[in-house]
């Protein structure tokens, strides 16, 4: 007779919201995400980083990914088993891929152009995926350890 250990299933929670590809839609993304993030079991440091990432990705979707009469989608996925929060923003402009921050050449005194530099600094990793038939998803992931301390970049 052999005994098997019970398998713990992955606990995945998801939040998805369509927002207008306008400045107002981009501004609404962050407080909507903040409300959801505070309901999930993670440290305040991870929550704060994620809010900033949402703000940057939503602003980029409204500014660079805008197509008239097309919304952008914000998706937050929390996998408590893997200890991973994924932030994804999908827009309708698949042909307009973001440049890696090192390639953007933003002058130090420019008023904009640092969004992906911030995402790079705040997220553990980020990337872009095609979203057929003509869109793209820009995503960022934050590793966390439940509601304990935030170990990213020495923050606690």
- The answer to whether position 109 is within a domain reads no
For residues 34-62, average pLDDT = 95
**pTM summary value:** 0.81
Domain assignment of residue 47, given as a range:
12-101+114-149
pLDDT cut 90: percent of the chain above it: 60
- The answer to whether position 1 is within a domain reads no
- The answer to whether position 3 is within a domain reads no
Backbone Cα Rg of the chain: 17
- The answer to whether position 138 is within a domain reads yes
- The mean-pLDDT minimum among 32-41, 51-60, 112-121, 123-132 falls in 112-121
- The answer to whether position 156 is within a domain reads no
d(CA 23, CA 63): 8
Contact between 85 and 50 (Cβ < 8 Å): yes
- The answer to whether position 129 is within a domain reads yes
- The answer to whether position 122 is within a domain reads yes
> Can you give the pLDDT at residue 96?
77
Contact between 116 and 24 (Cβ < 8 Å): no
Task: Report how many domains make up the chain.
Answer: 1
7: confidence class by pLDDT, cuts 50, 70, 90: very low
> Can you give the pLDDT at residue 115?
81
For residues 82-91, average pLDDT = 96
72: confidence class by pLDDT, cuts 50, 70, 90: very high
Contact between 137 and 90 (Cβ < 8 Å): yes
- The answer to whether position 84 is within a domain reads yes
CATH of the domain at 124: 3.30.565.10
87: confidence class by pLDDT, cuts 50, 70, 90: very high
> Can you give the pLDDT at residue 145?
72
């Amino acid at each position: 007779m052999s005994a098997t250990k019970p398998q713990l299933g992955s606990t995945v929670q998801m939040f998805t919201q369509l927002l207008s590809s306008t400045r107002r839609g981009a501004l609404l993304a962050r407080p909507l995400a903040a409300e959801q993030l505070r309901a999930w079991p993670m440290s305040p440091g991870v929550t704060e980083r994620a809010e900033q990432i949402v703000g940057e990705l939503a602003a980029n979707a409204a500014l660079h990914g805008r197509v008239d009469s097309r919304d952008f989608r914000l998706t937050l996925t929390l996998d408590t088993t893997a200890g991973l929060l994924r932030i994804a923003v999908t827009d309708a402009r698949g042909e307009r891929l973001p440049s890696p921050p090192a390639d953007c050449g933003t002058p130090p005194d420019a008023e904009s152009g640092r969004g992906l530099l911030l995402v790079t600094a705040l997220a553990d990793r980020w990337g872009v995926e095609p979203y057929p038939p003509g869109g793209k998803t820009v995503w960022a992931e934050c590793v966390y350890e439940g509601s304990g301390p935030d170990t990213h970049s020495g923050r606690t």
